[in-house]
Amino acid sequence: MTQTLPPPTSTSDSTPFEDPILLKQSPFFSRLLLWAMLAVTTFTIGWVFLAKIDQVVVAQGELEPQGTVEEVQAAANGTVAEVLVENGATVKRGEPLIVFDTESVAAELVALKRQYELLAQETAFYRAQLGQGSLSGVDLTAVDVPADVLFLVRDRSNLVGEIALLRSQLGGSTTGLSGTQRVRLRTAQASLGAQLQVDQLAVSQLQSQLAQTQAELANAQTDLALETDKLKRYEELEDAGAVAELSTIEQRQRTNAAETQVAVLTKEQQRLQEAIDQAQATVSTTVHGSQYEVQAQIAQAQQRIEEIDARLGKLIVDNERQLAQLKSEIEQTAALLVDHELVAPVAGVVFELDAYEGLVTNRSEVLLKVVPADALVAEVFIAADDIGYVAPKMDVDVRLEAFSSSDGAKIGGTILWIGDDAVEPDELNPYHRYPAKVKLMAQVVEVKGETKPLKPGMRVSASIKERKRPVIAVFADFITDRWDSLKKMR
C-alpha cells in the first residue's frame, strides 16, 4: 500500500517562483569575440608592418606643347565654303579641314599672275638702268615705278650725261653729247679761253713794263758811273786848289741823285718781276684749277651715281625676293584651285579654330592650329623640399583641374625630365622649386563617358609616386615629427 506524503509546507508567506534562479552564460560567444579581436589586432599589426603604400609628391603645373604647334594658314585670298572640324577634334594627317570657294581662288590666281608680271617688268626696268639688261619686252606704260625711284633714275641719267660733258672739257671725246651739252661745252671752253686771255694779257703788260724799267735802269747806271767819275775828279782838283769846295759839293749831290735813281729803278724791276711771276702762276692756276674743278665734279657725280646704283640694287634684291614669294604663292593657289581644301599637316588635336563658313580670308592668315599627337606634356614644378627622391621615369597620376575630382579626370604618365636648377621664388610661389616635364599616356581623357581632348594651358595637379613605404614607417615618421615638435617647445 502506497502512502501519499503531504506536500511540504512553507514556514513563510512566499509565493511560488519567487526564489532566485542563477543563469549561466555560454562560453562560446565570449571565446568567439575574443578570437575575433585577436585576429583583427594581429591582422592590423601585420598589415602595418608588412603592407606598403605609395608615397606621392604633389606638383602643380599646366599642359604645354612639347613640339611645334602647326599653324594652318590660308594658301590664298578666298572665301571659306565649309568648315569640316570643330575645336578639340582629333584629326589625322592629310584629313580635310576647310573647303574654299573655287571662284575666289581662281580670281586670286589671276591677280597673283598679274602682280608677278608687273613686278618682273619693274625689275627689268631697274636692271636696264644699271646696264644689266635691255628694255626690250618691257611695257613702260604698265610699269608703276614709285615717284622717288623715278626721280633717282632721271637723276642718274642726267649725272651720266654730266660726266660725259665734264670729260670732254678735259679733252675727251665729244661723241654722244647732246646738242645742249655741246653748247655747254663750247660755253665752258670759251669762258676758260677768255680768262686765259685776260691772265696772259696781264703778263704781257707786266713784261713790257719790266723791259722799260730795265732800259731806264741801264741808263741810270750809266749816268751814275759818269757822275761818280766826275766827283772823283772834283775831289782831286779841290785838293790841288784848282776848284772851289762848292763845286765839289754840287757834284756830290748830282752823284747821290744818280744813286737814288738806280736804287728806285732796281726796286721797281724786282717788283715787276714778282708781279710777272704771280701773273704767270695765275695763268697756270686758271688752267690746272679748271681741270681740278672738273675732276672734282666728275668724282662727285660718280659718287652720287654709286649711291643711286646701290638703291636700285637693293630694290632689285627686294623685288627678286617678292618674285620668288609670288611664284610660290601662284603654285600654292594653282594647287588649291585643283584641290580646294586645307588638310591637317600632322595628326593631332584642333584648337583655336577661327574659320567659319563665309569667312573672307587673306593669304597666310592663320585659320586654326593643330597640336601634334603626343605633343602635350605636363610641365610642373616640384618644391625643393620634395625633390630628394624624385627621379625620371617615375610614375605619375595627372589630374586635370578643369574637371571636378568626382569626374575621375586622371591620366597616367611618367617623368621625362627634371631641371637641374631651381626656380627663384616669386609672389605667387614664395619657395624654390624645380621644373619637370611629365609624359602623358594619352592625349584625351574620359569624363562621364565622354572623350575630352587635352588642350594647351590646362591646369594640372601631378601626384608623383615617389616610392612605396611600409605603413609603420609612415606612423613612425608622424610620431617622430610630433616628438621633435614637442622637444622644440619652450
Q: Is the dihedral of CA 462, 466, 472, 478 positive or negative?
A: negative
Is residue 354 assigned to a domain? yes
Residues 235 and 277 in one domain: yes
33: exposed, middle or buried (C-beta count within 10 Å: 0-12, 13-18, 19+)? exposed
Residues 223 and 280 in one domain: yes
Residues 315 and 353 in one domain: no
Q: What is the CATH number of the domain that holds 167?
A: 1.10.287
Residues 381 and 428 in one domain: yes
The residue segments making up the domain with residue 453 are 374-481
* Secondary structure string (H, E, C) spanning the chain: CCCCCCCCCCCCCCCCCCCCCCCCCCHHHHHHHHHHHHHHHHHHHHHHHHCEEEEEEEEEEEEEECCCCEEEECCCCEEEEEECCCCCCEECCCCEEEEECHHHHHHHHHHHHHHHHHHHHHHHHHHHHCCCCCCCCCCCCCCCCCHHHHHHHHHHHHHHHHHHHHHHHCCCCCCCCCHHHHHHHHHHHHHHHHHHHHHHHHHHHHHHHHHHHHHHHHHHHHHHHHHHHHHHHHHHHHHHCCCCHHHHHHHHHHHHHHHHHHHHHHHHHHHHHHHHHHHHHHHHHHHHHHHHHHHHHHHHHHHHHHHHHHHHHHHHHHHHHHHHHHHHHHHHHHHHHHCCEEECCCCEEEECCCCCCCCEECCCCEEEEEEECCCEEEEEEEEHHHCCCCCCCCEEEEEECCCCHHHCCEEEEEEEEECCCCECCCCCCCCCEEEEEEEECCCEEEECCEEEECCCCCEEEEEEEEEEEEHHHHHHHHHHHHHHHHHHCC
**pLDDT computed for residue 1 by the predictor:** 40
Residues 321 and 455 in one domain: no
* Cβ-contact 443, 374 below 8 angstroms: yes
Residues 292 and 182 in one domain: yes
**pLDDT computed for residue 438 by the predictor:** 92
Angle at 190 between CA 187 and CA 191, to 5 degrees: 85
* Cβ-contact 418, 380 below 8 angstroms: no
Residues 85 and 213 in one domain: no
Residues 352 and 227 in one domain: no
Residues 264 and 379 in one domain: no
Is residue 182 assigned to a domain? yes
Q: What is the CATH number of the domain that holds 438?
A: 2.40.30
- How far apart CA 464 and CA 389 sit, in angstroms, is 10
Is residue 423 assigned to a domain? yes
Residue with grid cell 601585420, as numbered in its chain:
46
254: exposed, middle or buried (C-beta count within 10 Å: 0-12, 13-18, 19+)? middle
Is residue 39 assigned to a domain? no
Is residue 250 assigned to a domain? yes
Residues 164 and 287 in one domain: yes
Q: What is the CATH number of the domain that holds 83?
A: 2.40.50.100
Residues 430 and 379 in one domain: yes
Is residue 258 assigned to a domain? yes
From first to last of the 490 residues of the chain, give the pLDDT tens digit.
444 445 554 444 444 445 555 555 567 777 778 888 888 888 877 776 766 666 788 889 998 877 677 889 887 777 888 899 988 788 898 999 998 888 877 888 888 888 888 888 888 888 888 877 776 666 666 677 788 887 888 878 777 777 776 666 556 555 555 556 555 555 665 565 556 666 677 777 877 787 888 888 888 888 788 888 887 877 777 777 776 777 778 878 888 888 888 888 888 888 888 877 777 777 666 665 556 666 777 777 778 888 888 888 888 899 899 999 999 888 888 877 776 788 898 888 887 889 999 898 887 889 998 878 767 889 999 988 888 888 898 889 898 888 877 776 788 899 989 998 888 888 888 888 999 999 988 877 888 777 777 878 889 998 888 776 676 666 666 677 666 666 666 5
* Cβ-contact 438, 57 below 8 angstroms: no
Residues 82 and 216 in one domain: no
- How far apart CA 399 and CA 409 sit, in angstroms, is 6
Counting every residue written for the chain, the total comes to 490
Number of domains in the chain: 3
Is residue 122 assigned to a domain? no
**pLDDT computed for residue 436 by the predictor:** 92
Is residue 16 assigned to a domain? no
**pLDDT computed for residue 437 by the predictor:** 92
